[in-house]
Amino acid sequence: MPVEIAPSILTADFANLERELERIASADWVHLDVMDGHFVPNLTIGLPVIRRIAQISPLPTDVHLMIDNPDTYAPEYAAAGATSVTFHLEAAKAPVRLSREIRRQGAKAAAAINPATPVAALENLLDEVDMILIMSVEPGFGGQSFIEQSLAKLAQAKRLIGERPIKLETDGGADRQTMPRLAKAGADVVVAGSAIFGAEDPAAEIEVLRELGR
């Protein structure tokens, strides 16, 4: 299976989101970063904007919640029409219950871990999630440089997943240089923000990254 490309709109033009979505329509997902100014030191978009994007997006929506209290808020994003809802394991109080609730609301459930959180922390969640996200930068900002240790974590997560139908996603610092190594380490879905929206032609860049991930 070729690696799926999930452009993050964090570096897109927030005044023209519909047009920006058209520019990446050849991707596999659109990655939507929700930040609350508490879990991470940055603030982006929230539920009303995600709801509207889910309505108009030509692509499945991959909502990445970098927020405190996902137990309360994540199910609302699922109910708002997100295809997949990712919460951070570091912020969740009851991740099993939360994953079930997200699924009950009709979305795929995903759990993310920060660079300093060990992969083993996901072990008891494997029957409950559709995707695992290994952060390859500290969450909060686009355009940061890739943390090399993430490659070993991806390989470890791949082994942990085994034959289960769980996708392995990576987020942060993906570009032409890191893409081949991310694919080799086992990533199924690669999020890329600045590499795609910083390119002159985002659609062409998606193709370049896809080729490098083969």
Q: Is 13 a catalytic residue?
A: no
CB of 92 to ligand DX5, least distance (A): 17
Is position 88 an interface residue for ligand DX5 (rule: CB under 6 A)? no
User: Of the candidates 25, 46, 75, 63, which has an alpha carbon nearest to the alpha carbon of residue 202?
Assistant: 25
CB of 41 to ligand DX5, least distance (A): 10
What residue is closest to ligand DX5 based on CB?
Answer: 193
CB of 97 to ligand DX5, least distance (A): 24
Is position 131 an interface residue for ligand DX5 (rule: CB under 6 A)? no
Separation between Cα atoms, residue 90 and residue 107, nearest integer Å: 21
State the binding string over 20-59 for Zn ion (x if CB under 5 A, else -): -------------x--------------------------
Is position 36 an interface residue for ligand DX5 (rule: CB under 6 A)? no
Choose the catalytic residue: 28, 33, 175, 188. 33
Which range binds ligand DX5 by CB under 6 A, 100-108, 134-142, 155-163, 179-187? 134-142
Q: 26, 114, 156, 194: which one contacts ligand DX5 (CB under 6 A)? A: 194
Choose the catalytic residue: 62, 130, 171, 175. 171
Residue 193, contacted partner among Zn ion, ligand DX5, none, CB below 5-8 A by kind? ligand DX5
Three-class HEC string of the chain: CCCEEEEEHHHCCCCCHHHHHHHCCCCCCEEEEEEECCCCCCECCCHHHHHHHHHHCCCCEEEEEECCCHHHHHHHHHHCCCCEEEEECCCCCCHHHHHHHHHHCCCEEEEEECCCCCHHHHHHHCCCCCEEEEECCCCCCCCCCCCCHHHHHHHHHHHHHCCCCCEEEEECCCCCCCHHHHHHHCCCEEEECHHHHCCCCHHHHHHHHHHHCC
Q: Is 127 a catalytic residue?
A: no
Is position 30 an interface residue for ligand DX5 (rule: CB under 6 A)? no
Q: 171, 175, 188, 205: which one contacts Zn ion (CB under 5 A)? A: 171
Separation between Cα atoms, residue 52 and residue 158, nearest integer Å: 34
Radius of gyration of the chain (CA): 16
Is position 64 an interface residue for Zn ion (rule: CB under 5 A)? yes
Residues that bind ligand DX5 (CB under 6 A): 8, 10-11, 31, 33, 64, 137, 139-144, 171-174, 191-195
